[in-house]
Amino acid sequence: MRFTRLVARGFRNLEPFDLPLDAPFVVLHGENAQGKTNTLEALWYATTLRPLRGHRPAELLGWDAPLMEVAVWSDRDGIVRHRRVQLEGGQRGLTLDGKRCNDLSAWFEDLRAIAFTPADGEVIMGGPELRRRWVDRAAFTARPAHLDIVRAYQRALVNKAATLRADRPDPTVLDVLDEQLASLGARLTARRADLLAELAPHVRQMVSTLAGQPSDVTLALRTAARGTSVDERAAALREAFGAARRAELRRRRTLVGPQIDDVVVRLQGQLARRYASRGQVRTLVLALKLAELVAARERGVVPVFLLDDLSSELDRARTGRLVGLLGDLGAQVVVTTTDPEHVTGDRRADAVWVEVRDGRLVTG
């Protein structure tokens, strides 16, 4: 899959633009605070319908802009799709190939992107929620239907939380909700565990390649839904919910389930969160993202890889190895940098070069 065009107006500090992207490598370069990352975020938002840096969608609108609109064209095996997303008055509207779209599964069909930003080190160093978010995002990239299970589990979890907050929680209702959560949670954790098992060898290979030396990396899911089958995981969750019932009623909130799971990452046998250096953390996160790309590629879709502020995150040697890896995997790469030579070494003929200056995009 490749993006061929990006159009936006009313997006943060950017002036309206129509940017050609039909190249294996797109370099957004310029000084800091000019709008390079905002350009990358416009592409990410059109692809995922989520901001890149944790903003609320309303914060993507430019100053005093009445609306924000982003459109992207993608090409997969000669089939061109056109998607347009608009935010106005707090409402989001989607258009797919010129027709209004209310079906997210249709929107995300054959549309894949993976992003690496300076903040992504928190996937390793931050709390469990960041690692859960990563593994669910990776599972979605590999199998978009994973999103349906995540949403169904979250809806049941919201209902249970509301029941626990009631003046007199109904135990029968809680029993029903716990059964729903056990069934959905078992499927959710099984998919997470299966994906981690699939990604682990790719992560080890990517870390070794980026670091330039053999490295031992392991990934494991820490969960109350223990077992080797969905039925075993569901039974384990039922037991955990039953044991936690009194405490949940007393504290009026949910205390167990996949919503508190963690992904344990170890490097050379040591817990990466505690012992990895800053450089090792960056390499680990990149390896996680690259393994995510490989998993999607094996299912027939090569995601576009977005890299923000690469020259500040990796040295030239690791950057060169990363660019080579992405080329070998067949991914289109969109990168932001203050130093284009750090990324490519020279002015590649197969790249689109875009200078970003004070919110204006100049190609060439």
Give the range among 47-56, 141-150, 240-249 with minimum mean pLDDT. 47-56
Q: What is the DSSP string of 334-357?
A: EEEES-HHHHHSS--TTEEEEEEE
Q: Which comes out higher in pLDDT, residue 55 or 242? A: 242
Residues of the chain with CATH 3.40.50.300: 1-112+301-364
Residues of the chain with CATH 1.20.1050.90: 121-299
Beta strand 351-357 with 25-29 is: parallel
User: What three-state secondary structure class fits 294?
Assistant: helix
pLDDT in tens, 226-270: 999 999 999 999 999 999 999 999 999 999 999 999 999 999 999
pLDDT tier, 37 (very low <50, low <70, confident <90, very high otherwise)? very high
Closest C-alpha among 316, 270, 314, 274 to residue 290: 314
CATH no., domain 121-299 = 1.20.1050.90
Answer yes or no: is pLDDT of 349 > 90.
Answer: no
Percent of the chain's residues with pLDDT above 70: 96
User: Which strand (E) or helix (H) includes residue 4?
Assistant: strand 2-9
d(CA 105, CA 70): 19
pLDDT tier, 165 (very low <50, low <70, confident <90, very high otherwise)? very high
**Rg of the chain, C-alpha, whole Å:** 22
Predicted TM-score of the model (pTM): 0.87
pLDDT tier, 77 (very low <50, low <70, confident <90, very high otherwise)? confident
Q: Which comes out higher in pLDDT, residue 234 or 66? A: 234
Give the range among 202-216, 259-273, 300-314 with minimum mean pLDDT. 300-314
Q: What is the DSSP string of 240-292?
A: HHHHHHHHHHHHTS---SGGG-EEEEEETTEEHHHH--HHHHHHHHHHHHHHH
In CATH terms, the superfamily for domain 1-112+301-364 is P-loop containing nucleotide triphosphate hydrolases (3.40.50.300)
pLDDT tier, 347 (very low <50, low <70, confident <90, very high otherwise)? low
Mean pLDDT along residues 337-361: 81
Answer yes or no: is pLDDT of 144 > 90.
Answer: no
Mean pLDDT along residues 7-32: 93
Answer yes or no: is pLDDT of 313 > 80.
Answer: no
Answer yes or no: is pLDDT of 307 > 70.
Answer: yes
Instruction: Report pLDDT for 139.
Output: 92
Instruction: Report pLDDT for 196.
Output: 96
pLDDT tier, 358 (very low <50, low <70, confident <90, very high otherwise)? very high
Which of the listed ranges 105-114, 144-153, 244-253, 298-307 does the model predict with the highest average pLDDT? 244-253
Are 300 and 79 contacting, i.e. CB atoms less than 8 angstroms apart? no
Q: What is the DSSP letter of 107?
A: H
Answer yes or no: is pLDDT of 323 > 90.
Answer: no
Q: Tell me the pLDDT of the chain averaged across its residues.
A: 91
Instruction: Report pLDDT for 330.
Output: 87
